[in-house]
Chains A and B, each alone.
Chain A
Amino acid sequence: MLEIRNLHASIAGKEILNGVDLTIRDGEIHALMGTNGAGKSTLSNVIVGHPAYEVTQGTITFNGQDLLAMKTEERATAGIFMSFQQPIEIPGVSMQQFMRAAVNARRKALGKEELKATDFLKMMRERRKLVEIDSKLVNRSVNEGFSGGEKKRNEIFQMAMLEPTFCILDETDSGLDVDALRIVAEGFNRLRTDETSALVITHYQRLLDYIHPDFVHVLLDGRIVKSGGPELAQEIEDRGFDWIKEKQ
């Protein structure tokens, strides 16, 4: 599904990633761990096409397509979804308006017709229940005045609406209490199919108790320095990152 080869990327002239290699096949869940500043968020931002990051070397292919040649919105309609670490508030743009534009853009990319207004509202209602999100939130402006937990839940709700094939959960667990974390993680689990792949970025084992990764990678100084199975995450939880650093 996603293939990253020798990826180098920088922001404002400063190199953050220097040679990331990562292959994610259909249906696989990969966890990406690492200390602050290791480049985790840079990697996710580069995958979704954040304009501030410059790719200086390397390739990313998504289902055989050259991802780096695609615009942000083309990557999204191709099925890449990112749950943001800090979802932005957009005052004045209603969730309905916003989701309708997004859902129809995705449908268009899949060669489907635009949803009729009534069908769209029905879909909103159904998906809302999946992530236990209040109808009041859905009637407000995008993320405006939402609490931290509500914002994260709203991200998963949007995932439910857009039915992506590849999801990035960028520190979805940060700022969530245990209950909120469970609801968000269970929502994600309910939504994923056998084909859905994901890249789960996190500091802690906590989230991985709910979302079980097939592979765990450690990112350090802009490169993946260690990969392993789920047991690696547990080892990091117990021993921290320093032992990996020392090995370098």
Chain B
Amino acid sequence: MNSAQQYIDLYASQRDLICHHSAPVMNAVRDAAMEQFQQRGFPSLKEERYRYTDVTKAFAPDYGVNLNRVQVPINPREVFRCDVPNLSTHLAYVVNDQPLFERDIPYVSSLRQACIDHPELVVKYYNKAATGLALLNTALAQDGLFVYVPKNQHMERPLQVLNLLRSGVDMMVNRRVLIVLEEGADATLLLCDHAMDRVLFLTTQVIEVFCADRSRLDLYELEETHTRCRRFSNLHVHVGSDCVVSHNSITLYNGLTRNTTDVVLDGERSEITLNGCVVADKRQHVDNNTLVDHRAPSCTSRQLYKYVVDEEAVGAFAGKMLVRKDAQKTDSKETNANLCAATTARIYTQPMLEIYADDVQCSHGSTVGVLDEQALFYMQQRGISADEARLLLKFAFVGQVIDSIRLEPLRERLHYLVEKRFRGELNKCTGCALCK
């Protein structure tokens, strides 16, 4: 079965409509992207980077696509008021794949607007790293977010983007984010995925990030959707010299998620941190795949991914550190730790080193383990029930990832959410219309 065909057909028949509701810069690269996609199709399970996620199957159902850009009739503030207490952010909404701003937010606009305001930037940076599944997104995406922080400017308040999925029918959503930080710029972004309806959602997302020399970026992604959501996210980060970049990806609730994170360290002395925390049960499937490409000397990379996988869930992690010939003095470390909480659950882990420079410090560690029996006994001797003790240990296990979050209010909020998640109390948060 070739589920790629329906997307090829869709594009062939709806190309004009797609372009009509989009911007020329985005339209300019569509045909080429589609042509490449047509040649390659979906990556199969035999492809090294897609061993653990069946892309073809996820894309096979017949999803609706809102090519006409019909406004989804909701006031996002009314349906969704979950936010992070004590964290003052600028809030933007993306309903399915349509950006929605209630007021002007500094440094942020829709991609379509950006094509008018900063066409030269969009031309320069848009679709520069698209490969694989990102190609399909390039062919179909009609709008997105554009974050641009000019030289030496600081985003005073973090930008929080609520990605809301809302539809009465099975729906495909193609989201796009372009982030450009000029020299010395500083930005903090928080992207939260929520699904408001129990239909089947298929999201493709491409986030392209360009960090010029001496810039700083903290990017947080939180997924709290439901079991009928499939998410394919491709994050491409291009890093110049002397940058400090961190990405945290937290998956608390989902259906099938594949996050591909590609980082190119192109300048000297930069630091990149990639963290991930996954809590999965039922039949959740979470596959994080990273590639950190050290092209320049003296960079540091750190990766820490922790999974707790229960019931019939599948957790997969594959991370490669590529150290090229000229990337001497690289300091690179990758850790993946997993708890397999049930014999029906499954964990795949594949940490990889590919190294061509000799003056480097590279290491990875990967573990699949069980909760510490002695710690459980100790806690029980103190009167803590076996269930509670297990919960505390699981919580401590993933807590290490959350502790690394720099924004304190967010860190606290995530500790709270993760604990709720382990207690099975998620989706009952106060303030959200759905849960009332």
Contacts and interface: CB of A to CB of B under 8 A. Distances in A.
Q: Do A and B come from one complex?
A: yes
Nearest to A97: B392
A92 B383 CA distance: 19
B384 interface: yes
Interface stretch (B44-52, B283-291, B313-321, B369-377): B369-377
B383 A90 contact: no
Contacts of B158: none
Given A71-B386, A73-B386, A92 B377 contact: no
Interface string B376-411: 011111111110110011011101100000000000
A189 B47 CA distance: 68
A208 interface: no
A89 B395 CA distance: 15
A92 B384 contact: no
18 contacts: A48-B381, A72-B380, A73-B383, A73-B386, A73-B389, A76-B380, A82-B381, A90-B375, A90-B378, A92-B395, A92-B400, A93-B375, A93-B396, A98-B382, A102-B384, A109-B383, A141-B396, A158-B382
B361 to A, nearest CB: 24
B397 A92 contact: yes
Contacts of A37: none
A106 to B, nearest CB: 5
Contacts of B377: 50-51, 72, 88
B415 to A, nearest CB: 10
Contacts of A91: 396
Contact of B392 (A76, A88, A93, A162): A93
Contacts of B372: 88, 90
Given A88-B374, A90-B379, A73 B396 contact: no
B186 to A, nearest CB: 31
Given A73-B386, A93-B393, A105-B385, A87 B378 contact: yes
A34 B385 CA distance: 33
Given A90-B372, A91-B396, A92-B396, A98 B379 contact: yes
Per CB-CB distance, the 6 closest pairs between chain A and chain B, nearest first, are A92-B396, A76-B383, A72-B380, A102-B382, A105-B383, A77-B383
Nearest to A89: B375
Nearest to B378: A88
A159 to B, nearest CB: 10
A94 to B, nearest CB: 8
A101 interface: yes
Given A90-B375, A92-B397, A105 B384 contact: yes
Interface string A43-60: 000001111000000000
A90 B396 contact: yes
A170 to B, nearest CB: 11
A84 interface: yes
B393 A90 contact: yes
A90 B395 CA distance: 12
A41 B383 CA distance: 20
Size band of the interface chain A makes with B? 20 to 34
A71 B380 contact: yes
Interface in A151-190: 158, 162
Interface string B353-373: 000000000000000000011
A77 to B, nearest CB: 4
Contacts of A98: 379, 382, 384, 392
A90 B393 CA distance: 8
Nearest to A105: B383
A47 to B, nearest CB: 10
Contact of A102 (B373, B383, B400): B383
Interface string B44-74: 0000000000000000000000000000000
Given A73-B381, A87-B378, A101-B388, 15 more contacts: A49-B380, A51-B377, A72-B377, A76-B381, A77-B383, A82-B381, A90-B396, A93-B395, A98-B384, A98-B392, A102-B382, A102-B383, A105-B385, A158-B382, A162-B383
Contacts of A102: 379, 382-384
B295 to A, nearest CB: 35
A51 to B, nearest CB: 7
Contacts of A162: 382-383
Contact of A88 (B375, B384, B386): B375
Interface in B246-280: none
A1 to B, nearest CB: 18
B170 to A, nearest CB: 40
Contacts of A106: 383
Contacts of B380: 49, 71-73, 76
A199 to B, nearest CB: 14
B385 A84 contact: no
Contacts of A51: 373, 377
Contacts of B400: 92
A186 B176 CA distance: 66
Contacts of A73: 380-381, 383-386, 389
Contacts of A81: 381-382
Contacts of A142: 378
A48 B380 CA distance: 9
Most buried by B among A50, A73, A109: A73
A79 B392 CA distance: 22
B270 to A, nearest CB: 29
A166 B375 CA distance: 22
B226 to A, nearest CB: 28
A51 B376 CA distance: 11
Nearest to B375: A90
A109 B386 CA distance: 15
Interface string A88-116: 11111100011001100110010000000
Given A73-B386, A101-B392, A92 B381 contact: no
Nearest to B400: A92
Contact of A84 (B378, B388, B399): B378
B381 A72 contact: yes
A92 B389 CA distance: 13
Contacts of B379: 90, 98, 101-102
